[in-house]
Every structure is written in C-alpha cells, then in structure tokens.
Amino acid sequence: MSEAPGEPTLPPELLAKFSAQFYSGLIPHPDILRGYNDLVPGAAKQILDTFNDQSHHRMNLERKTIDSDIHRSWAGLAAGTLICLAILAVARELVLADHSLEGTFLGTIDLASTSESSSM
C-alpha cells in the first residue's frame, strides 16, 4: 500500500479491516442459526418449528377469511333476492286489489333498481 505524499502514516495497530454481510429472508441465515444452536442446543430447530407453525397459522387465517367473504357474498345475494321477490309480491297484491297504479309503480321501481345494481 503506497502512501501519497503529505498523508499521515498510521501505525499498523490502528488499522482495521471492515467486513459486512447482508442477508434478507423469512428465516435467519444458516450461520446465525448455527450460532444460536451453539449457544442453546436445539434452538435452531425450535426457531424453524416456530416459523413453520406461524406460517401454517397465517395460511389458516387467510383461508378462514376468504371462506367467510365467500359466505357473506352468497348471503348478501340471497337476502337481496328475497327482498326483491317480496317487493314484487307486494306489487302483485296491490295490482290484484285494484291499486294498479301503485302496484305497477312499485314493481317497476323494484325491477329497475334490480337491473341497475346488477349492471355495476
């Protein structure tokens, strides 16, 4: 290592070597796991088991959430259909009871709102 003129010379005991590593992942780097295992025998297995349990737990929660969303979606469709059919039944009864204007109006509004919501 050549020194440039005018630069101070450092004694060898003040020189240091710097080294850095970077690791990114879901579980610790194998060297880190080895270090934990050296300190506490079986720690690496416990860390991996915990990671595995957490992963299964998270996937189970996601599956439950998706199943619940599907169920709520079908329940909403069923409820909307029942409400629509009930309003049509009331409109029919109005027409049959000589309230044809009101029954026609109610039936038309019901069908128009149903076709509007299904086109979205």
Taking only the tens place, the pLDDT of each residue in 53-104 is 999 999 999 999 999 999 999 999 999 999 999 999 999 999 999 999 999 9
At 16 the pLDDT is 76
Between CA 34 and CA 44 the distance in angstroms is 7
Residue 5 pLDDT exceeds 80: no
pLDDT number for residue 112: 87
The answer to whether residue 4 is domain-embedded is no
The domain of 75 spans: 28-118
Query: Is 100 within the bounds of a domain?
Result: yes
Q: Is residue 38 part of a domain?
A: yes
Say what the pTM is. 0.57
Q: Look at residue 98 and tell me if it is in a domain.
A: yes
Count of all residues that appear for the chain in the document: 120
CA dist 63 and 74 (Å) reads: 17
Q: Does 21 reside within a domain? A: no
- Total of domains in the chain: 1
Give the per-residue pLDDT at 113. 83
The pLDDT of residue 14: 72
Residue 22 confidence (pLDDT): 83
Residue 3 has pLDDT above 60, yes or no: no
> Taking the CB of residue 30, how many other CB atoms lie within 10 A of it?
11
CA-to-CA separations, 33 to 19, 80, 110, in angstroms, rounded: 20, 56, 65
d(CA 113, CA 92): 17
Q: Determine, yes or no, domain membership for 10.
A: no
Least confident of 21-25, 56-60, 115-119: 115-119
Domain annotation covers residue 113: yes
Within-domain flag for 94: yes
